[in-house]
Structure 1
């Protein structure tokens, strides 16, 4: 249904989007200067056959440029309690500094965070510029994960899932 009022830009749009919880992920890759990484809250599965995921990165991101150049990346879903890692990878600090003290390994040419809740190693399938972000789709070549609760971004703060009510 279409509203007769014009769409409000800026703060109202951001407020509505902030009300929707999103999983927090770190997208990682390699480039000419070494390791790159950025925190995102826009990741989802696209296809089961073949296995495809998508992620959105800011057009100004050096991580985006490195991934497009190299043709591969990893998506690392963070678990509750990894707020500091999410904040570090969201900062403008250079790539190598973001990884200091963060256990990781190189798998299929890209960094994978050892303590991630789950991870996907991908080959870039498609690149779509859309406004101030770029949508990357990736063919998944490897996937792994562990137990735990996801780190969420909701109302502009990191959160975990609410504990289940044992009486329900």
Structure 2
């Protein structure tokens, strides 16, 4: 056996080959609104239902979410690749992304994107510092399903995006 594998030297290659769903997360606090593309997100409890979203500490959305009470998590299919690019390759530190897409205000002023297969809003119950990202534990409060996100937009579909922020 190659002992370099036991030491995790191939971990980066292994993780780079994984594929998982991408989401756009939006939030608002005071007169600020923000949104970003995220790949670190998952259901983390069945009963009670809970969902966790991790935001980079370098991201404008994280800064706004620190003062927020609600996040919206938007599902994406491959048809929403350009919407994903808007929220993944542009930073809220430099521009307001929302004039470039269709949205409406939701609970607590959180922007709800119109052009995605579905979304849910969630009350932020807790925040967990996990390193360079902070996990936001959500209690879903409402959901909208417009269509199935098939095929879903995944990490492998957006690997070529130039990030708006250095993760």
The two structures have a TM-score, normalised by structure 2, of 0.81
Q: Which residue of 2 aligns with 1:112?
A: 112
The CA deviation string for residues 70-94 of structure 1, in whole angstroms up to 9 with x for no partner, is: 2211111112121111111113432
Q: Distance in 2 between matches of 1:59 and 1:76?
A: 20
- 1:68/1:124 contact within 8 Å kept: no
2:55 corresponds to 1:57: yes
Q: How many residues align?
A: 153
- 2:32/2:64 contact within 8 Å kept: no
- SS, match of residue 88 in structure 1: helix
User: What is the 5 A alignment of 1:149-160?
Assistant: 149=150, 150-154=152-156, 156-157=159-160
- Extract unaligned runs of 5+ from structure 2: 162-167
Q: Distance in 1 between matches of 2:18 and 2:73?
A: 20
Q: Which residue of 2 aligns with 1:161?
A: none
The CA deviation string for residues 115-147 of structure 1, in whole angstroms up to 9 with x for no partner, is: 212211011111111111111110100011122
- 2:60/2:91 contact within 8 Å kept: no
Q: Which residue of 1 aligns with 2:97?
A: 98
Deviation beyond 3 Å, 4+ runs, structure 1: none
**1:37 deviation in Å?**
0.5
- SS, match of residue 115 in structure 1: coil
Q: Which residue of 2 aligns with 1:36?
A: 34
Q: Distance in 2 between matches of 1:50 and 1:16?
A: 32
Q: Distance in 1 between matches of 2:86 and 2:111?
A: 16
The CA deviation string for residues 22-65 of structure 1, in whole angstroms up to 9 with x for no partner, is: 11101100134521001001211122332211111111222112
Q: Which residue of 2 aligns with 1:7?
A: 8
Distance 1:16 1:29, change over 3 A: same
- SS, match of residue 85 in structure 1: helix
Q: Distance in 1 between matches of 2:92 and 2:102?
A: 17
Q: Which residue of 2 aligns with 1:126?
A: 126
More helix by share: 2
